[in-house]
């Protein structure tokens, strides 16, 4: 597969030319990049796959939700609906996409919206909100956010920077210049100063860009209703892991530290689980002779398990959900918080009065 991707390199060159021309047109003002009279924070990455955008968006929600009328705006990847839509407490992943459904489930008091055209979404939200967080919007140049947070997955930081389809990059590495903050996510908690220095040299931040390092913080398991359980995983536990995420590597590593008995039902990112998929999981689980066995999935995957046609099977299974958060290394959380809150505070102080 690795060698096959090299055969796609000519197509990557063509893709790169198209992206470079597109970005140049936005930078030159030929294509319009819209600004708005309220603070807008964009979270994204340069490559495809999971770099921890959702945990970062949730971190920002927690940081601001008590002091501002807050909205998140996503494309709503994988939904069957079209256009602008505000999620309700009973919205499903099919209606809004899995990540927006997750945001609404965890933070019912904020506005969670989806729209393919973010400009139209912001126009719908701006008059009734103080702050908008754009999830996975780094390449959405039609909007010019006031503050951009760019994430790089620590586990992929040394990979070749090849554009799609030969590589994983959505745009050339020069696109990092638009970021205000760069975050290296999913780092080992014990990452040394020397290792951080090497990574910074690899990333090559500009003078105005602050670089932060974060690690994954695995939180207590809870059931499908959100109730924290007292389940203890040890070396006698057999875990059936169900994932439909871009990179399950860190999760696998975390669980393998607790038990060697791990059976992974792996599907592509944003996979819409079918009744056949879940029935196979149920059959494998019931056939397992282990005295202590559980099913573990991620928060994002749990949203797609809540579809009506799956619930009859899912409810009969001991499915547990493993939430994640982020932790800043080097005691830099306060520095990051100050940077982003100062942007919001200053923008609102000088916001035009209509």
Q: What is the pLDDT along the chain (354 residues), one digit of tens a residue?
A: 566 777 888 999 999 999 999 999 999 999 999 999 999 999 999 998 789 999 999 999 999 999 999 999 999 998 999 999 999 988 999 999 999 999 999 999 999 999 999 999 999 999 999 999 999 999 999 999 999 999 999 999 999 899 999 999 999 999 999 999 999 999 999 999 999 999 999 999 999 999 999 999 999 999 998 999 999 999 999 999 999 998 899 999 999 999 999 999 999 998 999 999 999 999 999 999 999 999 999 999 999 998 878 988 999 999 999 999 999 999 999 999 999 999 999 887 666 544
Single out the residue of 198, 193, 146 nearest to residue 347, CA to CA.
146
pTM: 0.93
Q: Are 81 and 294 in contact (CB under 8 A)?
A: no
pLDDT at 302: 95
Write the DSSP symbol of residue 352. P
pLDDT at 348: 73
pLDDT at 351: 62
The alpha-carbon radius of gyration of the chain (Å, integer) is: 21
For each of the domains in the chain, give its residue range(s) and CATH number, in order of start. 25-217+327-349 (3.40.50.300), 222-322 (3.40.640.10)
Helix (H) / strand (E) element for 114: namely strand 111-114
Token look-up 């999913």 returns 186
245 phi/psi in degrees, rounded to 5 = -125, 165
Token look-up 């924290």 returns 228
Cα–Cα dist 332/1, whole Å:
40
Write the DSSP symbol of residue 159. S
240 phi/psi in degrees, rounded to 5 = -95, 110
Write the DSSP symbol of residue 128. G
Cα–Cα dist 90/101, whole Å:
9
């Amino acid at each position: 597969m690795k060698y096959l991707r090299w055969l796609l390199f000519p197509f990557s060159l063509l893709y790169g030319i198209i992206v470079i021309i597109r970005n140049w047109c936005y930078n030159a003002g030929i294509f319009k990049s819209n600004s708005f009279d309220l603070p807008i924070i964009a979270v994204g990455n340069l490559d495809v796959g999971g770099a921890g955008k959702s945990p970062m968006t949730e971190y920002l929600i927690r940081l601001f939700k008590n002091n501002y009328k807050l909205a998140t705006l996503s494309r709503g990847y994988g939904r069957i609906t079209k256009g602008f839509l505000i999620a309700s407490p009973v919205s499903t992943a099919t209606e809004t996409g899995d990540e927006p459904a997750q945001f609404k489930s965890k933070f019912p008091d904020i506005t969670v919206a989806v729209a393919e055209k973010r400009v139209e979404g912001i126009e719908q939200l701006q008059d009734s909100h103080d702050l908008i967080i754009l999830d996975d919007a780094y390449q959405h140049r039609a909007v010019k956010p006031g503050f951009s947070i760019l994430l790089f997955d620590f586990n992929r930081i040394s990979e070749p920077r090849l554009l799609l389809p030969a590589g994983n990059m959505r745009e050339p590495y020069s696109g990092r210049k638009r970021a205000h903050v760069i975050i290296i996510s999913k780092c080992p908690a014990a990452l040394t100063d020397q290792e951080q220095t090497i990574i910074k040299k690899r990333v090559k931040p500009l003078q105005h860009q602050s670089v932060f390092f974060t690690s994954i913080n695995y939180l207590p398991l809870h059931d499908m209703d959100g109730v924290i359980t007292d389940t203890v995983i040890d070396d006698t536990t057999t875990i059936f892991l169900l994932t439909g995420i871009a990179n399950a590597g860190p999760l696998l590593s975390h669980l393998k530290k607790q038990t060697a008995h791990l059976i992974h039902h792996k599907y592509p990112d944003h996979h819409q689980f079918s009744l056949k998929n879940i029935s196979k999981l149920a059959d494998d689980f019931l056939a397992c002779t282990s005295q202590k066995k559980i099913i573990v999935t991620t928060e994002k995957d749990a949203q797609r398990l809540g579809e009506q046609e799956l619930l009859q099977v899912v409810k009969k299974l001991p499915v547990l959900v493993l939430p994640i958060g982020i932790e800043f290394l080097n005691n830099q959380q306060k520095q990051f918080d100050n940077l982003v809150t100062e942007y919001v505070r200053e923008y609102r102080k000088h916001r035009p009065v209509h």
